[in-house]
């Protein structure tokens, strides 16, 4: 980009009282590429010339002459935006890639620094949905990018392996489950049990109490509850592992929510001692009204800890253990508020490093216009998507290149590559409508 930056600096320099370095340092990337490729904010000039920044941007736009490299210059509010000549950019980038090969884009900017990328994080006993696929694919790409920049990266899978849903699952399994049936097709069957629990609980609310009791037993270390929970974990992880192997993705740690259980009591006590917590309707909360947010729940009325409590403990533990320079949470945009809340609590606890934590959010995967929830029946299992993609790739090979060697292997690579590509090629923060035609579009 150096060449283009220099071209912009040369355009601006005769018209502003700034050095080349100052101009280059001032240039920004607009939040949306539709606005331009580079933006020059006019605020500092406004002070200098005692004129409104927007007026300066408009006047500069009049004065600057477009060039072949920078064919369009447009003011937008207080910014003067520059559009690069796309075909030239593309040509330059491709030439650079072909000259540098695998070394393209690598640097040492991250030397000696550590980045934690938390991603994928599916829930035990629930299907690995296409929403988790987005986190997995984006997180994996970020891991590669940070590695290429010289950072040490730590990949963490924050498995959803704790919470009241395990009380429900234990009740459902004990009431309607059969060991052989579950062994044969664990996640499908666990998922059906979970759906059934919610259906039956609507008629019979006593089931909810039973589930609460079982979760409490699990939290208290009851051997039977632990054994069933452990078994659900092993069965689920085996299935997740199969998916990760097919996607070619791995992790450094599979430390799920339950990993932090032993740290919660001490954490909650410290938050209370710091005067940050209070009881409200029997639950222990951190009041966040001064920050225009609903309260963060530390403990429910029945003393059970929550998702947010475990996230606070996880953040502390990871900082203590890894002294990260950055920590990325690759999680759907529907959890934005959750991250804002617990980042705020970390800040209130006095942790300066919360500034290094980022929620890398992404749009939801919508299916028939409804968010894919696991409580209802409408969910697409990721493995079905992968299998279907591979089958389609295979039929294309049969049609176009039937004598290809290692057909099965190629079909697996192409099919899965297509699924990953469909995901990465859509804008991260936008919602995506799940469409087979799009995912399996080999054009
Ligand atoms: N298991 C959660 C889910 O499926 C995602 C966990 C996100 N990570 C976190 N640190 N809260 O919704």
SS (H, E, C) 183-212: HHCHHHHHHHHHHHHHHHHHHCCHHHHHHH
Give the position, in ligand 1's atom list, of the atom nearest the Cα of 123.
Answer: 1
Q: In Å, how far from its chain's centre is CA 274?
A: 31
383/121: higher pLDDT = 121
Query: Which tokens in the block code for residue 45?
Result: 């000039």
330, 118 Cβ separation under 8 angstroms: yes
CA 139–ligand 1 middle distance (angstroms): 13
Q: Using a 6 Å cutoff on CB, does residue 121 contact ligand 1?
A: yes
Average pLDDT over residues 326-330: 98
What residue's CA is closest to ligand 1, atom 6? 121
**193, 260, 199, 263: which is closest to 228 by C-alpha?**
193
Residue 199: the pLDDT is: 94
Residues with Cβ within 8 Å of residue 397, at least 6 apart in sequence: 404, 407, 410, 411
Average pLDDT over residues 353-373: 80
**Cross-sheet strand order for the sheet of 277-280:** 277-280, 283-286, 296-299
CA 257–ligand 1 middle distance (angstroms): 9
CA–CA gap between residue 283 and residue 301 (Å, rounded): 4
Local confidence band at 384 (pLDDT 50, 70, 90 cut-offs):
confident
Q: Using a 6 Å cutoff on CB, does residue 128 contact ligand 1?
A: no
How crowded is residue 153: how many other Cβ atoms within 10 Å of its Cβ?
21
Q: Using a 6 Å cutoff on CB, does residue 364 contact ligand 1?
A: no
Q: Using a 6 Å cutoff on CB, does residue 258 contact ligand 1?
A: no
Mutation to probe ligand 1, out of 116, 120, 121 (largest number of atoms < 8 A from CB) = 121
Q: What percent of the chain has pLDDT over 90?
A: 80
Give the position, in ligand 1's atom list, of the atom nearest the Cα of 131.
Answer: 4
In this predicted structure, the answer to whether residue 380 has a pLDDT above a threshold of 80 is no
298, 285 Cβ separation under 8 angstroms: yes
CA 315–ligand 1 middle distance (angstroms): 13
Residue 242: the pLDDT is: 93
CA 386–ligand 1 middle distance (angstroms): 23
**78, 155, 69: which is closest to 115 by C-alpha?**
155
What residue's CA is closest to ligand 1, atom 11? 311
pLDDT digits (tens, 9 = 90+) for 60-78: 999 999 999 999 999 999 9
109/439: higher pLDDT = 109
Average pLDDT over residues 118-126: 95
Mutation to probe ligand 1, out of 296, 331, 372 (largest number of atoms < 8 A from CB) = 331
First CA to last CA across the chain, in angstroms? 30
CA–CA gap between residue 170 and residue 193 (Å, rounded): 9
CA distances from 34 to 7, 8, 74, 334 (A): 20, 18, 11, 25
288, 276 Cβ separation under 8 angstroms: no
Local confidence band at 370 (pLDDT 50, 70, 90 cut-offs):
low
pTM exceeds 0.75:
yes
Q: Using a 6 Å cutoff on CB, does residue 160 contact ligand 1?
A: yes
In this predicted structure, the answer to whether residue 378 has a pLDDT above a threshold of 70 is no
Residue 133's Cβ-side half-sphere holds a number of Cα atoms within 13 Å equal to: 28
Q: Using a 6 Å cutoff on CB, does residue 153 contact ligand 1?
A: no
Average pLDDT over residues 236-254: 95
Q: Using a 6 Å cutoff on CB, does residue 158 contact ligand 1?
A: yes
How far is it between the farthest Cα atoms of the chain?
A: 80
Query: Which tokens in the block code for residue 405?
Result: 């060697």
Average pLDDT over residues 1-17: 94
Q: Using a 6 Å cutoff on CB, does residue 310 contact ligand 1?
A: no
Q: How many residues does the chain have?
A: 443
pLDDT digits (tens, 9 = 90+) for 256-281: 999 999 999 999 999 999 999 999 99
Residues with Cβ within 8 Å of residue 28, at least 6 apart in sequence: 38, 39, 40, 41, 79
């Amino acid at each position: 980009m150096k060449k283009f930056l220099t071209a912009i600096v040369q355009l601006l320099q005769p018209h502003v009282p700034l050095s080349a370095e100052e101009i280059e340092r001032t240039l920004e990337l607009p939040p949306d590429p539709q606005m331009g490729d580079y933006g020059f904010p006019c605020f500092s000039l406004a002070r200098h010339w005692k004129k409104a920044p927007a007026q300066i941007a408009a006047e500069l736009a009049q004065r600057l002459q477009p060039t072949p490299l920078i064919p369009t210059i447009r003011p937008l509010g207080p910014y003067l935006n520059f559009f690069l000549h796309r075909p030239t950019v593309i040509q330059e980038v491709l030439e650079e890639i072909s000259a540098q090969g695998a070394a393209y884009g690598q640097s040492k900017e991250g030397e000696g620094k550590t980045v934690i990328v938390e991603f994928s994080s599916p829930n035990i006993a629930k299907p690995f949905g296409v929403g988790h696929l987005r986190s997995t694919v984006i997180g994996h790409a970020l891991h590669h990018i940070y590695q290429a920049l010289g950072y040490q990266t730590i990949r963490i899978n924050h498995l959803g392996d704790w919470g009241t849903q395990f009380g429900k699952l234990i009740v459902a399994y004990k009431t309607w489950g059969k060991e052989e049936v579950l062994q044969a097709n664990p996640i499908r069957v666990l998922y059906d049990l979970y759906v059934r629990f919610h259906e039956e609980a609507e008629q019979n609310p006593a089931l909810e109490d039973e589930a609460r009791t079982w979760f409490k037993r699990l939290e208290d270390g009851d051997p039977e509850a632990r054994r069933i929970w452990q078994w659900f974990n092993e069965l689920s992880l085996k299935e997740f592992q199969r998916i990760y192997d097919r996607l070619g993705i791995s992790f450094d740690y599979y430390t799920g929510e339950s990993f932090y259980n032993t740290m919660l009591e001490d954490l909650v006590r410290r938050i209370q001692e710091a005067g940050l917590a209070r009881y409200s309707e029997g639950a222990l909360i951190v009041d966040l009204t001064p920050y225009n947010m609903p309260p963060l729940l530390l403990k429910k009325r029945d003393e059970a800890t929550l998702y947010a409590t475990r996230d606070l403990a996880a953040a502390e533990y990871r900082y203590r253990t890894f002294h990260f320079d950055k920590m990325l949470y690759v999680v759907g945009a529907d959890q934005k508020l959750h991250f804002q809340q617990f980042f705020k609590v970390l800040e209130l606890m006095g942790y300066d490093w919360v500034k290094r934590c980022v929620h890398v959010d992404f749009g939801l995967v919508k299916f028939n216009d409804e968010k894919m929830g696991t409580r209802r029946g409408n969910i697409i299992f990721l493995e079905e998507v992968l299998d279907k993609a591979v089958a389609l790739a295979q039929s294309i090979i049969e049609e176009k290149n039937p004598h290809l060697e290692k057909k099965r292997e190629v079909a697996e690579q192409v099919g899965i590559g297509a699924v990953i590509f469909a995901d990465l090629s859509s804008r991260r923060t936008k919602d995506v409508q799940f469409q087979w035609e799009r995912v399996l579009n080999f054009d």
